[in-house]
Amino acid sequence: MTHSDILVLDCRQVLASLSCWLDGDGTAELRAAIERHLARCGRCRVLVDTTRHTLRLLVETEPFEVPLAVSARLYARLEQALRES
């Protein structure tokens, strides 16, 4: 491969491929190009790191817990339905 054949991405293209990168998708060529870009672009590295961090927090904080009262109503309703069935 000559130098001009190497895929070079700008920040906008890396941004567009961000989800693909985080999900492990994309061709080997695209992934290598993203990796080269990240090696020399601090802002895009921050973007990748903080997006990964965002997804980790989304899972780890376990948002939207069922309120106790809601859970109690659910069980009461189901018990009634199961008795009727």
Binding site for another protein (CB under 8 A): 15-16, 18-20, 22, 43, 46-47, 49-51, 53-55, 57-59, 61-67, 70-71, 73-75, 77-78, 81-82, 85
**Cβ–Cβ < 8 Å for 47, 18:** yes
Complex with another protein: residue 32 or 54, whichever CB lies closer: 54
Complex with another protein: residue 28 or 70, whichever CB lies closer: 70
Least distance from another protein to the Cβ atom of residue 50, Å: 5
Complex with another protein: residue 7 or 55, whichever CB lies closer: 55
**Cβ–Cβ < 8 Å for 33, 11:** no
What is the spatial distance between Cα 42 and Cα 53, in angstroms, rounded to a whole number? 16
What is the spatial distance between Cα 55 and Cα 20, in angstroms, rounded to a whole number? 14
